[in-house]
């Protein structure tokens, strides 16, 4: 009988998704720019968020032929208050005299506001990945949601029948019955006592008294009948008594990881090189978030001396002077020994530098890495954000040959970062 | 149908159920039949707010081809809705057979009743009755055609790349308002015919285009003999998209088909643009009349009444000029007032009405109460007019007084504006005429026609804008011409000509090398 009423609510929503994609595609450049700005401004940890994108309205316009200002117009308006025929009034500013054509006003108006919309987290990451030229497999690996397992989490008042917890429900029902019946029961008790007393006295004789008592007994009996009725009216089991076993989803617990970010902050590292380095760190961080529950970040910056700092200081403070890379490695080793025993932590190191180093120091770096650091860490990635190869580069080249989990690469553009991690992702790709 | 004397009111909870919608629908249908409303069969569809936004974004149609501008629309709608800047329309109704009305899940029962009366009976009967809709649209095939359009555009994207299709659609959309023969009766849409004839047409068209241009070399040797060259087109053409579809020299068959699709869709929406006041007014008049009738028969509770009346009052509110919310004349308000007034003129005419509307003033006087003698006049008014002529014919002095209309004359050469007419005895005629012209699409949109094609020389296309009241074209014109040039493939000129025949503005755009 309801054939002409159709429930479409479950039919596809998001029919506009194709149109939205086309829109984003068209404004790719603006979107990419906004995403880059956002990445530079964000902390490594909150990279995975959406972003508001603003596009100047003018760029979005769809031109059509229409009339411009000028010429002769006759327009009818409602709501005349004081005008009579022949009145002359001053021309309102901004062409306000032509209200009759609502759409024209908005079409003509030139870019008052930007067109602002939000990019979802997924779309944001998509653009970010595109910039880094990640292979598709890696994109999926990074975008993939971690595995979940379901776990007991107490009881809840709604659920499916198969999760019904009988004992809990009955206990609740009992409690409710006791609570709801308390006042009635108390009164019953008192009335019964009084009734017994009256009956006893009635047996003792005294006609007048007995008549009085008979009335009272009748009243009490009526009241008792009512109260028993009320007691019976309390439901044995009420929907609000039902308790269900509750299960929640928790990410599959994996072990902990710590990520060390090492960066040269000497005078030669300018903003642009730091931003490039930042993307390098972000990528490693993202990789780790897919595999570890708990990730700690340690930021070590160095020039001639190394120092452990906060993320903000790490990216935004500039120092001057020379460079001694080994100072950072020594500090790294100290921190590992003191705080991150390898039995509990998976260690990852990402180092960025422009390749400058005090020339006697480079061999010392190799030594520290080879003997102390590399045996402890899962992966060590090094990027040089400058073109010139210096002795540090040569020393590291030797290391890379001997150690498979030491990766290095020259990076001058975000799209060149990914290959540093190729080994890392490849290994995980096989595992997964 | 309305024979049952005592009726129990329909339940009036705020939450709707399918059974309730069904019951209300039955009651509304019975009432509408009592008023002899002639409609397409109804199909009511319950949708979510998100689906409503989807429908919004693709110009209210359940399916449409994909284009970034619909994405933009969707994003804007969604943003405003989420932030609470705007409520969604309560309903969307599609001129199709059966007539599809969307009811939003969030609506209360009272609102669903309002929407059913408004859309499924008001708009529906207008779609079926009004001459423009009968002439321009074929309700039974529009959905099929859009499905075909969507698939065809998708197939083209696959074959020729998204960019190529997007550019083409952008250009077509720029000319969408100039894709209609205003004065010629179009062929109706029919899917089978479209499909059957498409390939034939593609082949034939290409040949026709080739024929046109093949005359070139033969004529070239007689250069200088301008007069003897046949003029093309012989007469100016107002349908730019049609002209491009048929005659643009470089378009490939698939491109011509897409131009055609955009043109057909534009044609489908053309009557809606011309009957805003009539259509919305008609639907508003009928939800008001139907629901009130049902209340009088005891079918509706007071709660339901109050709720939809509140909404009705908002819809027909006309802010006066200068009010913060003023953005022109509210078509709902004007249309509703005019139909209501027509009914009054039929039933209780004043002396003034008899002078203004001698044909039908008092035509329902003394008629039996249940006979609805005024229906004849309203039905005639609904069927045979568009906004322009409807206002010109039926706007009564009383409505002008109620709205306190006044006309402003704005001449560029005059530093001040002049009040040319107000709602008084001497101004009624002028006001009515002026308002009627305001609804004439021809004067709202620039009159641009294909003037000539240079067949012998550079193949350039010349368009001509006939200025109306010396009104020039806006700054965006060059952008539109770029689109025209992209479609035409060669240079495009546009001359803006004043009534004296002098060229006042001139643009030339050469297509970008691609």
B176 CA to chain A: closest CA distance, Å? 8
Query: Higher-confidence residue: A359 or B103?
Result: B103
Sign of CA dihedral B25, B26, B27, B33: positive
Chain B: residue nearest A58 by CA? B476
Does B1 score more than 50 pLDDT?
Answer: no
The fold of the A256-431 domain, in CATH, is: Rossmann fold (3.40.50)
User: Measured between CB atoms, which of B79, B105, B476 is closest to A9?
Assistant: B105
Q: What string of pLDDT tens digits covers the 432 residues of chain A?
A: 345 788 888 776 667 788 888 888 888 888 888 888 888 877 777 777 778 888 877 778 888 888 888 888 888 999 888 888 888 888 776 544 443 333 333 333 333 467 888 888 878 877 877 777 666 656 555 655 555 677 788 888 888 888 888 899 999 999 998 988 888 889 999 999 988 888 887 766 666 777 777 888 888 889 999 999 988 888 888 888 888 888 887 765 556 788 899 988 887 788 888 888 888 888 888 877 777 777 888 999 888 888 888 888 888 776 777 788 888 999 999 999 988 887 778 888 889 888 888 878 888 888 888 888 888 888 888 888 888 888 888 888 888 888 888 888 888 888 888 777 776 666 544 333
Instruction: Report CA-CA distances (Å) from B146 to A228, A307, B61, B187, B445.
Output: 71, 66, 9, 17, 26
User: Residue B403: what pLDDT?
Assistant: 93
Copy the structure tokens of residue B84: 């609470």
Contact A4 B43 (CB under 8 A): yes
Question: CA A71, A77, A78: angle at the middle one, nearest 5?
Answer: 180
- Residue A96's H or E segment, with its range, is none
Contact A76 B68 (CB under 8 A): no
Question: CA B198, B199, B205: angle at the middle one, nearest 5?
Answer: 85
Q: Which residues, 6 or more positions from B288, have their beta carbon under 8 angstroms from its beta carbon?
A: B312, B336, B340
Contact B406 A83 (CB under 8 A): yes
Distance CA B205, CA A389 (A): 65
Rg for chain B (alpha carbons), in Å?
Answer: 26
Examine residue B98 and say whether the peptide bond preceding it is cis (omega within 30 degrees of 0): yes
User: Residue A134: what pLDDT?
Assistant: 62
Distance CA A156, CA A141 (A): 35
Contact A71 B412 (CB under 8 A): yes
Report the range out of B27-31, B90-94, B497-501 with the highest average pLDDT: B27-31
Does B252 score more than 60 pLDDT?
Answer: yes
Give alpha helix (H) positions in B175-249: 191-220, 240-247
Chain B: residue nearest A95 by CA? B410
Copy the structure tokens of residue A413: 């553009």
* A10–B contact, CB cutoff 8 A: no
Q: Find residues 91-150 of chain B whose CB sits inside 8 Å of chain A.
A: 98, 102, 105
User: Residue B2: what pLDDT?
Assistant: 45
User: Residue B256: what pLDDT?
Assistant: 93
Distance CA A125, CA A142 (A): 9
Q: With CA atoms as reference, report the closest residue to A33 among A54, A61, A12, A50.
A: A54
Q: Find residues 89-128 of chain A whose CB sits inside 8 Å of chain B.
A: 89-91, 97-102, 105, 107-108, 115-118
Contact A80 B406 (CB under 8 A): yes
Q: Decide the pairing of beta strands A148-156 and A244-251.
A: antiparallel
Distance CA B23, CA B27 (A): 6
* A100 contacts on B by Cβ (under 8 Å): 328-329, 438
User: Residue B160: what pLDDT?
Assistant: 93
User: Residue B199: what pLDDT?
Assistant: 67
Structure pTM? Answer: 0.71
User: Measured between CB atoms, which of A7, A72, A117 is closest to B411?
Assistant: A72
pLDDT digits (tens, 9 = 90+) for B185-226: 555 556 666 666 676 767 666 666 666 665 544 444 444 444
DSSP code at position B505 = E
Does B447 score more than 80 pLDDT?
Answer: yes
Query: Higher-confidence residue: B334 or A31?
Result: B334
Buried b (16+ CB within 10 A) or exposed e, B200-233: ebbeebeeebeeeeeeeeeeeeeeeeeeeeeeee
User: Residue A424: what pLDDT?
Assistant: 65
Where would I find the beta strands (DSSP E) of A194-330? 244-251, 256-264, 295-302, 306-309
* B446–A contact, CB cutoff 8 A: yes
Task: Tell me the average pLDDT of chain B.
Answer: 85
Does B156 score more than 90 pLDDT?
Answer: yes
Q: Which residues, 6 or more positions from B472, have their beta carbon under 8 angstroms from its beta carbon?
A: A67, A68, A69, A70, A71, B496, B504, B505
When scoring A30, A59, A76, A96 by the number of chain B Cβ atoms within 10 A, the one with the most, hence best to mutate, is A76
Domains of chain A, by residue range, sit at 15-56+113-132, 163-244, 256-431
* B74 contacts on A by Cβ (under 8 Å): 16, 19-20
User: Residue B9: what pLDDT?
Assistant: 84
* A228–B contact, CB cutoff 8 A: no
pLDDT digits (tens, 9 = 90+) for B32-84: 999 999 999 999 999 888 888 888 777 778 788 999 988 888 888 887 777 66
Chain A: residue nearest B47 by CA? A9
The residue whose two tokens read 């708009």 is B123
Q: Which residues, 6 or more positions from A233, have their beta carbon under 8 angstroms from its beta carbon?
A: none
Mean pLDDT in residue range B15-35: 91
Where would I find the beta strands (DSSP E) of A188-243? none
User: Measured between CB atoms, which of B42, B420, B471 is closest to A70?
Assistant: B471
The residue whose two tokens read 């595109």 is A130
* A16–B contact, CB cutoff 8 A: yes
């Amino acid at each position: 009988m309801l054939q002409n009423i159709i429930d479409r609510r479950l039919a596809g929503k998001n029919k506009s998704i194709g149109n939205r994609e086309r829109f984003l595609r068209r404004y790719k450049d603006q979107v990419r720019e906004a995403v880059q700005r956002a990445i530079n401004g964000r902390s490594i940890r909150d990279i995975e968020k959406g972003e508001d994108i603003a596009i100047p309205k003018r760029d979005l316009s769809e031109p059509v032929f229409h009339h411009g200002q000028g010429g002769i117009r006759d327009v009818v308006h409602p709501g005349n208050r004081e005008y009579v025929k022949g009145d002359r009034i001053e021309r309102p500013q901004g062409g306000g005299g032509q209200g009759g054509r609502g759409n024209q006003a908005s079409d003509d108006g030139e870019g008052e506001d930007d067109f602002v919309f939000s990019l979802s987290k997924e779309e944001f990451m998509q653009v970010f990945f595109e910039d880094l030229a990640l292979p598709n497999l890696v994109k999926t690996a990074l975008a993939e949601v971690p595995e979940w397992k379901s776990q007991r989490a107490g009881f809840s008042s709604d659920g499916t029948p198969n999760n019904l917890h009988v004992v809990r429900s009955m206990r609740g029902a009992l409690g409710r019955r006791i609570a709801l019946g308390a006042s009635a029961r108390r009164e019953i008790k008192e009335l019964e006592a009084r009734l017994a007393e009256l009956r006893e006295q009635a047996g003792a004789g005294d006609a007048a008294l007995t008549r009085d008592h008979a009335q009272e007994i009748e009243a009490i009996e009526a009241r008792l009948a009512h109260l028993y009725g009320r007691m019976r009216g309390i439901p044995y089991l009420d929907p609000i008594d039902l308790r269900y076993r509750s299960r929640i989803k928790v990410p599959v617990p994996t072990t902990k990881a710590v990520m060390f970010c090492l960066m040269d902050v000497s005078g030669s590292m300018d903003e642009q090189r730091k931003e490039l380095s930042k993307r390098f760190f972000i990528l490693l961080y993202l990789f780790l978030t897919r595999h570890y529950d708990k990730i700690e970040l340690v930021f070590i910056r160095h020039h001639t001396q190394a120092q452990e700092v906060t993320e903000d200081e790490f990216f935004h403070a500039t120092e001057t002077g020379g460079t001694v890379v080994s100072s950072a490695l020594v500090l790294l080793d100290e921190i590992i020994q003191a705080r991150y025993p390898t039995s509990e932590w998976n260690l990852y190191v990402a180092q960025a530098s422009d390749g400058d180093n005090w020339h006697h120091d480079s061999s010392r770096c190799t030594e520290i890495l080879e003997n102390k650091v590399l045996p402890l860490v899962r992966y060590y990635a090094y990027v040089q954000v400058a073109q010139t190869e210096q002795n540090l580069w040569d020393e590291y080249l030797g290391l890379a040959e001997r150690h498979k989990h030491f990766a290095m690469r020259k990076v001058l553009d975000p799209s060149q970062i990914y290959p540093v991690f190729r080994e890392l992702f490849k290994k995980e790709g096989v595992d997964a | 149908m309305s024979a049952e004397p005592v009726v129990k009111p329909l339940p009036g909870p705020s939450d709707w159920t399918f059974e309730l919608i069904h019951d209300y629908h039955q009651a509304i249908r019975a009432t509408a039949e009592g008023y002899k409303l002639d409609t397409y069969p109804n199909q009511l569809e319950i949708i979510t707010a998100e689906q409503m936004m989807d429908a919004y974004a693709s110009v209210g149609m359940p399916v449409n081809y994909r284009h970034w501008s619909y994405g933009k629309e969707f994003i804007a709608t969604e943003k405003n809705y989420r932030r609470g800047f705007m409520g969604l329309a309560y309903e969307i109704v599609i001129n199709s057979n059966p007539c599809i009305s969307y009811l939003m899940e969030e609506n209360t029962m009272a609102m669903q009743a309002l929407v059913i009366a408004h859309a499924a009976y008001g708009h529906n009967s207008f779609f079926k009755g009004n001459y423009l809709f009968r002439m321009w649209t074929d309700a039974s095939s529009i959905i099929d055609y859009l499905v075909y359009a969507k698939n065809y555009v998708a197939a083209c994207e696959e074959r020729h790349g998204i960019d190529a299709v997007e550019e083409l659609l952008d250009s077509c959309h720029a000319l969408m308002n100039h894709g209609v023969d205003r004065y010629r009766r179009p062929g109706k849409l029919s899917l089978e015919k479209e499909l059957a004839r498409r390939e034939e047409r593609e082949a034939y068209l290409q040949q026709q285009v080739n024929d046109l241009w093949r005359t070139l070399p033969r004529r070239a040797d007689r250069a200088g003999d301008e007069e003897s060259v046949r003029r093309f087109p012989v007469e100016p053409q107002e349908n730019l998209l049609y002209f491009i579809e048929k005659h643009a020299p470089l378009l490939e068959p698939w491109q011509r088909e897409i131009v055609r699709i955009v043109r057909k869709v534009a044609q489908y929406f053309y009557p809606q643009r011309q009957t805003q006041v009539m259509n919305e007014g008609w639907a508003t008049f009928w939800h008001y009349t139907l629901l009130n009738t049902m209340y009088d028969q005891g079918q509706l509770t007071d709660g339901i009444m109050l709720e939809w009346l509140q909404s009705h009052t908002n819809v027909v509110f006309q802010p006066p000029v200068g009010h913060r919310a003023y953005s022109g004349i509210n078509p709902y308000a004007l249309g509703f007032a005019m139909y209501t007034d027509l009914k009054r003129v039929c039933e209780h005419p004043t002396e003034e009405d008899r002078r203004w509307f001698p044909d039908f003033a008092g035509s329902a006087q003394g008629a039996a109460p249940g006979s609805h003698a005024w229906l004849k006049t309203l039905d005639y008014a609904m069927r045979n007019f568009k906004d322009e002529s409807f206002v010109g014919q039926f706007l009564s002095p009383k409505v002008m007084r109620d709205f306190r209309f006044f006309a402003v004359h704005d001449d560029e050469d005059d530093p001040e504006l002049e009040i040319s007419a107000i709602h008084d005895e001497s101004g009624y005629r002028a006001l009515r005429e002026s308002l009627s012209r305001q609804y004439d699409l021809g004067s709202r949109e620039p009159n641009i026609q294909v003037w000539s094609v240079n067949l012998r020389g550079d193949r350039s296309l010349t368009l001509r804008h006939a200025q109306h009241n010396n009104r020039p074209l806006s700054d965006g014109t060059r952008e539109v011409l770029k689109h025209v040039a992209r479609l035409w493939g060669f240079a495009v000129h546009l001359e803006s000509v004043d009534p004296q025949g002098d060229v006042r503005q001139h643009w030339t755009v050469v297509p970008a090398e691609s």
